[in-house]
Chain A
């Protein structure tokens, strides 16, 4: 399991480097993404998470999301990454 702590300043401005990071990681192992430093983000990040989830599923890898704030979860629901319960 590769643990990645998501940077508090993640946004469209620096999303490319995050994408490269997870793209490399998912090829190797399962990933745990720790959101303890952020409580909300933007659409560019959500799309990368969405594509990462699809990529992991295709490669039979697992993605674990840790410390997801209420607001971040709402954002994930809005982007179709998780379902609202």
Chain B
């Protein structure tokens, strides 16, 4: 599948970078032909992924996250590359949304949103290249 329209930016810091990451993703999705639903989905999914990375892979310390977006036909691809502790957000168990609020675990909602909003979520780890989280979303009609 041919890819097109690559947009990439590196964000260095911690959770205070989330707003800048959301703005970058929002603008990139728009430039790549996505509509309002696509912008919201990619923005929230990317925010949740980056928050998990800052909290778990960097464990609260500062770190670098590369965010890259491109098109593959009718598919939008969002990829996050980062060093740090190997952390696969897709292995975080999803919460039981039928359970009463006081019985719900505090984590897992972010991953639930990523899976709900994106068509596919994949994780790779390479000892040299580091962590790579790739999310694909079929563009809304």
Do A and B form a real pair? no
B residues sitting closer than 8 Å to A (CB atoms) are none
A residues sitting closer than 8 Å to B (CB atoms) are none
